[in-house]
Structure 1
Amino acid sequence: MPHRRLRLRRRTPRPGRARRAGRRRGARRLARRTRLDVLGAARRAPLDGRPPAHLSGPVIPVTAPTPLTAPVPATALDRLARADLAFLNWRDPGHPDAGGAEAYCWEIARRFAAAGAHITLVSSRYPGSRALEYRDGIRVVRAGGTFGVYAAAAAHLLRNRHAYDAVVDFQNGIPFFSPLFTPRWTADICVIHHVHQHQFDTRFRWPMNAVGRVLEKQVSRRVYRGRPVVVVSPSTREGARRELGFGNPLHIVPNGRPGGAAAPAPAGRRSDGPAVTVVSRLVPQKRVDLILRAVPALLRRRPELRFDICGDGPEAEVLRKLAADLGVASAVVFHGHVTEERKQELFHHAWLTVVPSVAEGWGLAVIEANTVGTPALAFDVPGLRDAIRPGVNGWLLDPDAELADGIDAALDELSTPEARRLAAARCRAWAAAFSWDASAERLAQVVLEDVQRIHRHLRSRRSASDLSVVTRFSSPDPAATERAVRNSLRQTDAWSRDGNVFRVLLHGCDEVRALGALRRLAVADADIALANGHDVLVGAADALAAETRPDDTPAPEPLAPEPRAADTPAPRPDAGENRATPPRSLP
């Protein structure tokens, strides 16, 4: 007989604990998805055309067996299907002050959602917006204002602490510090467009400008230590290393181009007279006032010159008043916010676009103009020096140069229809190297690699190096080599195959570590060289813009001081990927 004070209880797990354990297995579930049977039932189908013996029913004769084609390998986006991801961004594309950073976030989120991932975008709320909305398969959650969005995003992550497999944190000066609010088994990826250390003074006074610099530098470096960081250009990577002191693995995922390869040509035709289109948010750091101050001198040289300025912002009324005070209001048209179609039409109408920003993460307006064949002029500042290749798609001016002289010289180069036609062909060839599909795939590779790293508790053999290596080799058994490449390389490495010739881009390693990686692939002989900036931007499978130039387009005359090499950007001493290195063969 049991003791009167003894109670027997069946041991069953509490529901809450079971749910938490299930959430903990989220990274493992996602990692297992990378090993899906992509052939499915087709793999198990009999090759002789006869149904399996255990199936009943009439036998339908098959005259010839249907050969199976090799399965198409799943991309990183495909492997993230059914994954739950949160995108944290300051604004969404519907915000009145949305710009290039919002376009980057939205275009990539759309492609994640189209691939089957469950995407939640957390952003600030603005007048007339809804707190919850579904667009293009994306769940948009809006809360907080300009600064309250950070607290709102933290509260959202805490309420849904176990709901996400990965969080993509888009930093706009100050990140959301998502690792503080997510479990350790959640992958947190930070995306940096450009470094704001010198721009806090243009927006805030002391002490808020000092607080912003500390949050972007010391606090961010501590919170995101050891986590992957995505940057949009080599200039942003350089700033993250030098100014922020980040020692993280930094991956370059550039912006894409609008419309894609199948986009229709914009309406209208190129202007017969000189015309300049400027697309920008009207804020102090964009320095649109420099263009207006250059207009009087330009009109004295070219009375027929016209300017179209698209965009809105807090500086709009100030700039309109400045144009009136300078007496150039008749030559400058302020269009305000325009649709994507109207923007492309104005770009196509112009001879030139001008981007006078103090710095950019990339310069999306440059690629948007290049897509319709319009070259760009900008100062040689971070971001824009990556988007513009002198002699191909535009001009770079010394930061101390007179903008009026630069615009006048560029218009002189474009003064004939033939010169404009050749410049348009070069611009389109350069813009074709970038696409939002490729950028989404590259960001998915970073996410997938970190999810797998967390699941397997692995550390990479490679250090957080900014060097990248391009290798070319041939294989007597290309099929076996391709399987080895797929199984051995990291998700973020890029490779292409042409027959039995392979081209591999290895990120985060020098030639010595590349030799070890190739030996693990059983490659005995290969050419090895440090990758240049273009290779890092567009990946190993894409050709240089000079190689994709139309057949009827001659080699371009330099529009600015000629780069060091005809097919590579001018190297800088601090950019390791641009150092010229002779090919090296394996011993």
Structure 2
Amino acid sequence: MTAMTALNDLARSDILFLNWRDPAHPQAGGAEAYCWETARRFSEAGAHVTVFTARHPGAAPRSMSDGIRVLRGGGTYGVYAAAARHLLNHRHAYDAVIDCQNGIPFFSPLFSPRWTADLCVVHHVHQSQFDMLLPRPLNVVGRLLEKQVSRAVYHGRPVVVVSPSTLEGIRRELGFRNPAYIVPNGTPPDGACDGPRAALGVPRSRTPAIAVVSRLVPQKRLELLVRAMPTLTQKMPDVRLDIAGDGSELALLRALAVREGVGHAVTFHGRVSAARKWEMLARAWLTVAPSVAEGWGLTVIEANAVGTPAVVYDVPGLRDAVRPGRTGWLLPPESDLAHGIADALGELAAPGARERTAARCRSWAATFSWDSSAERLAAVVLEEMARTRRHRHSRRRPSDLSVIGTFLVADGNAMERFLRNALRLTDAWDRQGNTFRVLLHGCDEVRAVRALRRLGVDPGELSELSLASRQDVLVGTAVPAGPEPAAGRPVPGPTGAAGPLSVRLGGTLSDNGRTTP
């Protein structure tokens, strides 16, 4: 295993996470998983971690879990004022504040001192969803807070996004010009008792089966899936749909299934245990996500982790989570969902198709882990902490481009020792013998050449210098993409947990003389 460099460097730091809900909240979803899984790993690395969140009925105002201090205050909207009071009353308590934006951020820079490292985590842009979620005039206020007010308050501060789609959204829809870093969601490790291991030995359904595990809220548009079932049952009488989850749409979806005459083919399970979730996903042929948009398709990747592909619309977030033709199907946003699902089920009915697809899905899901995501988030926190303490205005110019360079050196050990201290924490490199492959974030080819020269690499010695692909930046490592593995074979994840490759985030910080493209 590769050492968690940035996480280890956070030891004894005081870190505050601000998130709308905690995992115990009845409406918790992917954003809560992201906050908790990264916070838990910060705590395990020795940081003093506090999570401030809304207080839901029956929840204690204070608790401890997984080494994390949980503070709860306010309700759905009152949590923002409660968090502001907490920051004002504890101005000297935290080295860094991680402000998780679920449509509306906490505006932590307004309430924390200038020497505190504030960064904003954005899961997805809600501008087009506020009309769906809020009545007038609250929808207008929501758009204003997310766009113009957030842009002013977080000006110049780092923004962490969970996918290339969210990065495009904050640039195009919100007008953010901040330095931005992609840190995707992870998946539970195979060895976790509440992870994919819970589904070991679960046989795939002999007949077409669809499973969805989701919050039942309007933006998920699961009514489209229920309305697709009459067509699907006509083509495949034995097809079945299992929906697990709770939310404001549950009663409406149940009534819709009855009206459509497919109550016998659709089962609503409500909230289920982790083991039951993995069992349902492992048994299914498909999962389906007809959302209007996502920050990232966490449910898609979780289904992939047990070998189940997905049918989704080609919308932000979901287009990043699905590899078309390999781990699922991307449908045009206005296309007929029933026909898209029927075509996918037809392909999976071919001999051996489900086994081949399952191997590709597991391979793709294995490239994401919460350990890697926590390490990448920790690197951003450390860079911002160093900037606020040493050189307030020193920063690499924001750029959404990244570059991959490959070069051969005479002394690989010497170059490795140098790279461990020369690159930024948010860059990455990989070594095979005396050949090195580096992934430099936030620069174009010209600036990358300058950085490599400072590493002692002559441009003429480069065997590759190219812009990183969308997938390269999402996965966030310098490991080149290899061939698809055979069924059942493990593949290296971002932390190099399997196979001979050793992936390492760069050493300490550019503020200490490190290479900055």
C-alpha contact (below 8 Å) 1:260/1:435 kept by paired residues: no
Which consecutive residues of structure 2, in runs of 5 or more, have no partner in the other structure? 490-517
C-alpha contact (below 8 Å) 1:261/1:432 kept by paired residues: no
The structure 1 residue matched to 2:485, chosen from 549, 563, 568, is: 549
The structure 1 residue matched to 2:8, chosen from 52, 57, 78, is: 78
What is the count of residue pairs matched by the alignment? Answer: 481
Q: Give per-residue Cα distances to partners, 1:163-215, cap 9 Å, x unaligned.
A: 00000000000000000011101000100000000000001122111110010
Q: Give per-residue Cα distances to partners, 1:419-459, cap 9 Å, x unaligned.
A: 10000001001101100000000000000011111122165
Cα separation, 2, equivalents of 1:551 and 1:103? 29
Residue 302 of structure 1 aligns with an amino acid whose one-letter code is M
The structure 2 residue matched to 1:129, chosen from 49, 59, 62, is: 59
C-alpha contact (below 8 Å) 1:265/1:372 kept by paired residues: no
SS of the residue corresponding to residue 365 of structure 1 reads: helix
Q: Counterpart of 2:278?
A: 344
Q: Counterpart of 2:82?
A: 152
Cα separation, 1, equivalents of 2:160 and 2:395? 20
SS of the residue corresponding to residue 264 of structure 1 reads: helix
* RMSD, matched Cα: 1.5
Cα separation, 1, equivalents of 2:310 and 2:302? 10
Residue 155 of structure 1 aligns with an amino acid whose one-letter code is R
Q: Counterpart of 2:128?
A: 198
Residue 242 of structure 1 aligns with an amino acid whose one-letter code is R
Cα separation, 1, equivalents of 2:422 and 2:374? 22
In our comparison, the structure showing a higher alpha carbon Rg is 1
Q: Counterpart of 1:329?
A: 263
Q: Give per-residue Cα distances to partners, 1:244-291, cap 9 Å, x unaligned.
A: 000000100001012346652515210000000011111111000001
Establish whether residue 404 from structure 1 lines up as the match of residue 338 from structure 2: yes
Q: Counterpart of 1:264?
A: 197
Q: Give per-residue Cα distances to partners, 1:560-579, cap 9 Å, x unaligned.
A: xxxxxxxxxxxxxxxxxxxx
Cα separation, 2, equivalents of 1:446 and 1:331? 47
Establish whether residue 244 from structure 1 lines up as the match of residue 244 from structure 2: no
Q: Note the 1:83-122 alignment, pairs <5 A.
A: 83-122=13-52
Cα separation, 1, equivalents of 2:131 and 2:402? 35
Cα separation, 2, equivalents of 1:450 and 1:482? 25
Cα separation, 1, equivalents of 2:189 and 2:443? 35
Q: Give per-residue Cα distances to partners, 1:86-109, cap 9 Å, x unaligned.
A: 000000000000001101111111
Residue 455 of structure 1 aligns with an amino acid whose one-letter code is R
The structure 1 residue matched to 2:376, chosen from 442, 449, 471, is: 442
Residue 103 of structure 1 aligns with an amino acid whose one-letter code is A
Q: Counterpart of 1:170?
A: 100
Establish whether residue 508 from structure 1 lines up as the match of residue 453 from structure 2: no
C-alpha contact (below 8 Å) 1:392/1:430 kept by paired residues: no
Cα separation, 1, equivalents of 2:76 and 2:355? 44
Q: Note the 1:304-319 alignment, pairs <5 A.
A: 304-319=238-253
SS of the residue corresponding to residue 352 of structure 2 reads: helix
The structure 1 residue matched to 2:143, chosen from 206, 213, 223, is: 213
The structure 2 residue matched to 1:386, chosen from 311, 314, 320, is: 320
Q: Counterpart of 2:507?
A: none
Q: Counterpart of 1:574?
A: none
Establish whether residue 366 from structure 1 lines up as the match of residue 300 from structure 2: yes
Residue 533 of structure 1 aligns with an amino acid whose one-letter code is R
Cα separation, 2, equivalents of 1:189 and 1:461? 14
- How big is the shift at 1:500? 1.2
Cα separation, 2, equivalents of 1:107 and 1:260? 15
Q: Note the 1:8-23 alignment, pairs <5 A.
A: none
- How big is the shift at 1:219? 0.5
- How big is the shift at 1:548? 4.6
Change in Cα spacing, 1:452 to 1:299, as seen in structure 2 (3 Å) is same
- How big is the shift at 1:461? 6.2
Cα separation, 2, equivalents of 1:484 and 1:401? 53
- How big is the shift at 1:489? 1.5
C-alpha contact (below 8 Å) 2:437/2:479 kept by paired residues: no
Cα separation, 1, equivalents of 2:472 and 2:451? 19
Q: Counterpart of 2:470?
A: 533
SS of the residue corresponding to residue 485 of structure 1 reads: helix
Q: Give per-residue Cα distances to partners, 1:367-425, cap 9 Å, x unaligned.
A: 00000000000000000000001011000000010000000000000003511000000
Cα separation, 1, equivalents of 2:104 and 2:288? 28
Q: Counterpart of 2:511?
A: none
Q: Give per-residue Cα distances to partners, 1:4-54, cap 9 Å, x unaligned.
A: xxxxxxxxxxxxxxxxxxxxxxxxxxxxxxxxxxxxxxxxxxxxxxxxxxx
Q: Give per-residue Cα distances to partners, 1:507-537, cap 9 Å, x unaligned.
A: 1100000011001101122121000011101
Residue 494 of structure 1 aligns with an amino acid whose one-letter code is A
- How big is the shift at 1:479? 2.5
Cα separation, 1, equivalents of 2:71 and 2:181? 28
Cα separation, 2, equivalents of 1:452 and 1:417? 56
Establish whether residue 232 from structure 1 lines up as the match of residue 162 from structure 2: yes
SS of the residue corresponding to residue 395 of structure 1 reads: strand
Which consecutive residues of structure 1, in runs of 5 or more, have no partner in the other structure? 1-71, 554-587
Residue 290 of structure 1 aligns with an amino acid whose one-letter code is L
- How big is the shift at 1:540? 2.5
Q: Counterpart of 2:454?
A: 520
Cα separation, 1, equivalents of 2:91 and 2:419? 36
Bigger relative contact order (CA 8 A; separation at least 6): 2
Residue 485 of structure 2 aligns with an amino acid whose one-letter code is R
C-alpha contact (below 8 Å) 1:462/1:513 kept by paired residues: no
C-alpha contact (below 8 Å) 1:84/1:117 kept by paired residues: yes
Cα separation, 2, equivalents of 1:94 and 1:530? 42
Q: Counterpart of 1:69?
A: none
Cα separation, 2, equivalents of 1:73 and 1:383? 30
Q: Counterpart of 1:572?
A: none
C-alpha contact (below 8 Å) 2:185/2:373 kept by paired residues: yes
C-alpha contact (below 8 Å) 2:203/2:282 kept by paired residues: yes
Change in Cα spacing, 1:460 to 1:511, as seen in structure 2 (3 Å) is farther
Residue 498 of structure 1 aligns with an amino acid whose one-letter code is Q
Q: Counterpart of 1:473?
A: 407
SS of the residue corresponding to residue 329 of structure 2 reads: strand
Q: Counterpart of 1:583?
A: none
Residue 299 of structure 1 aligns with an amino acid whose one-letter code is T
C-alpha contact (below 8 Å) 2:356/2:487 kept by paired residues: no
Residue 360 of structure 1 aligns with an amino acid whose one-letter code is E
Cα separation, 2, equivalents of 1:486 and 1:158? 38
Q: Give per-residue Cα distances to partners, 1:141-166, cap 9 Å, x unaligned.
A: 01100000000000111111100000
Q: TM-score, normalised by structure 1?
A: 0.80
Change in Cα spacing, 1:529 to 1:458, as seen in structure 2 (3 Å) is farther
